[in-house]
Amino acid sequence: MNRILVGLLAALAGAGVALPAVAQDVASLAVTPVVIAPAQSDLARTIKSGLAATYYGARKDSLAYREAQKLYFFYGARHFEPIWLDEANGAVGYSAAAQKIMKLFGAAASEGLRPSDYLTSALDVTAVGNDPAKLAALETAFSAATMRYATHIYTGRIEPLSIDANLDIQPKQLDQSALMLELATSDDPAAVLAKLEPTHPEFLALKARLATFDATQAERPITIEAGATLKPGMSDPRVPALRQRLELPAVDGLVYDEALIAAIKTFQAGAGLEDDGVMGPATLTALNGGAPVTREDILANMERWRWMPRDLGKFNVFVNIPEYRLTINRDGQETYATRVVVGSTKNQTPIFSDNIRHIVVNPYWNVPSSIIKNEIAPKTRSNPGYIASQNMELIYQGNVVSAYQVNWAAVGDSFPFRVRQKPGPSNSLGQIKFLFPNKHDVYLHDTPSKSLFGRAFRAASHGCVRVQNPMEFAAALTANEPNIDRASLEAMFGSSERWVNPEQQVPVHLAYFTLRVGADGELRSYADVYGHNAKLIKALGLGDAAAPVIADAAPADTTLSP
């Protein structure tokens, strides 16, 4: 293969292309002239013949033509020398690099992938003989399998939008040409491909758990039986098991005592629950690890981590919807956490990443058109006083108009108005909102409806994310800002909308993970509130899981709010 690599390097030098040190993200290479170097070996001439037949035989406006052209140009720049095939004593076999990658294909299950996606019959080297077309097909089939593996390990097997329109995640783009060249010149192609794996600690923890899943299933913590809500001073036959579960010394008696209460509070705080020391249904579910974890759950959550940006940001905001929890993280460490209310199952919060660019104090609420159509317009037609009663304004062609001055009979079924709610105590956004402008018109905000934060099921908004302690969050969010802090924001409270633009944009991730790895290393599972997990399991071919959307487990929130 040395002669082949020399030919490759010469071709690259002639084309003016620099060899990449690692696989790149989005391809952004400068346009360079297409160089078709002459084949210099019998095997290269065989590959050229097969590629040329496919390229020139395809219809010019077809995907097959574009793919064949890409391969023809790629191999043409390297004298049509193969990467994956080698010739010795007149027999063609796989190169050393190819053999190492074949081992990766065989071990794909340890990565949460399927070996059968890569080890296909098209890679059978014994079936090609010296047929030019078959040799070329084998070479390109191995390239395709390698790129398929690389893409799967880098950005996942499934395109998010194919699961649900609310999974607004653009798959990361892999510079396949740069990666192919790096693999061709590497002594350790397995290490090159390993660089593509997510480095998120939770992904790596899930991967480690996958490797020992059967063993860890046998070592699950003791299960606490269902029963009455336990409050301080009560007696209950489950107390000994509860003390064992929380690793407290055994004592005589069945009293829910101060030591148990303190241990439950510590557990609740770590699980993002109300740390009141009362063992109710939510705490019991969390103690028992939530719903039983399956191998399919682990694989689906690993897939979602592959969808995430490789770099979440050194300082970022992370909202996990099934957990109803927001955190601020610095250098991978959680520095702040609070409860949130997310979109209902009917008005789901979309999943995507962006950057917080603005903070708005005393915000107007510009009511989304869907809420105007379904809720506000019907009520206003029947009662023009409804607008004023909600501290709202009708806007027509940029001007505020009175609902009493509108001839509603003439308007008919149309509603040619925008609606906004004025700043004030009853404003649905509360006193502050945090903007990351996006096509979904969702953001983080305060709310006057505080009661929902005390519920275990908190999917109740029209899509935006309501923050339980917005001013605490604002203080943590602006920790890096020299001219903005909680006091300066609170000093703006009043009746006029005020916009504040931080110097640094903060990455924000609206994510969907039904499994999280706690600080104690234990897996915690959360309800598949929107059904995304079940749909993904099915798309991955891991089972016949239906995709039920969990019905609201709490009374509907009747307050108009995003």
- Statement to judge: residues 51 and 174 lie in one domain: yes
Tell me the two tokens of residue 380.
């206003």
Which residue range(s) make up the domain with 215?
A: 199-221+294-364+426-562
- Statement to judge: residues 318 and 275 lie in one domain: no
- Statement to judge: residues 369 and 238 lie in one domain: no
Of 90-94, 322-326, 555-559, the one with minimum mean pLDDT is 555-559
Write the burial class of residue 493 (CB in 10 Å: 0-12 exposed, 13-18 middle, 19+ buried): middle
- The mean pLDDT of 382-405, rounded to a whole number, is 91
The pLDDT of residue 561 is 59
pLDDT at 486 over 50: yes
- Statement to judge: residues 395 and 256 lie in one domain: no
Q: Is 200 a catalytic residue?
A: no
Residues 456/331, Cβ–Cβ less than 8 Å: no
- The mean pLDDT of 514-537, rounded to a whole number, is 88
- Statement to judge: residues 37 and 75 lie in one domain: yes
CATH for 538: 2.40.440.10
Which position has the higher pLDDT, 22 or 295? Answer: 295
Q: Which of these, 240, 479, 465, lies nearest to 342 by C-alpha position?
A: 465
**For 174-232, how does the pLDDT look when each residue is reduced to its tens digit (9 = 90+)?**
888 788 888 878 889 989 999 999 999 999 999 999 998 875 554 556 778 888 888 98
Catalytic residue among 445, 462, 509, 532, which?
Answer: 445
- Give the residue ranges of DSSP H helices in 186-256: 189-194, 201-211, 213-218, 239-245
Integer Cα distance of 536 and 546 in angstroms:
10
Task: Name the DSSP class of 110.
Answer: G
**For 39-91, how does the pLDDT look when each residue is reduced to its tens digit (9 = 90+)?**
988 878 888 888 888 888 888 888 678 777 877 888 888 888 888 888 776 77
CATH for 239: 1.10.101.10
Which position has the higher pLDDT, 94 or 543? Answer: 94
- Statement to judge: residues 409 and 522 lie in one domain: no
The pLDDT of residue 217 is 57
- Statement to judge: residues 339 and 372 lie in one domain: no
Catalytic residue among 79, 152, 462, 464, which?
Answer: 464
The pLDDT of residue 455 is 86
For the chain, give the mean pLDDT. 85
pLDDT at 252 over 80: yes
pLDDT at 2 over 70: no
3-state secondary structure (DSSP) of residue 386: helix
Integer Cα distance of 189 and 365 in angstroms:
54
Q: Is 462 a catalytic residue?
A: no
The pLDDT of residue 346 is 93
- Statement to judge: residues 415 and 434 lie in one domain: no
- Statement to judge: residues 130 and 52 lie in one domain: yes
Count of structural domains within the chain: 4
Residues 541/349, Cβ–Cβ less than 8 Å: no
* End position of a domain, from candidates 422, 454, 471: 422
- Statement to judge: residues 355 and 255 lie in one domain: no
- Statement to judge: residues 253 and 110 lie in one domain: no
* End position of a domain, from candidates 262, 287, 312: 287
Q: Which of these, 261, 296, 198, 254, lies nearest to 543 by C-alpha position?
A: 296
**For 426-481, how does the pLDDT look when each residue is reduced to its tens digit (9 = 90+)?**
899 999 999 999 999 999 999 998 999 988 889 999 999 999 999 999 999 999 99
- Statement to judge: residues 189 and 307 lie in one domain: no
User: Please, how many CA atoms are within 13 Å of residue 204, restricted to the half-sphere of its CB?
Assistant: 8
* End position of a domain, from candidates 234, 255, 287: 287
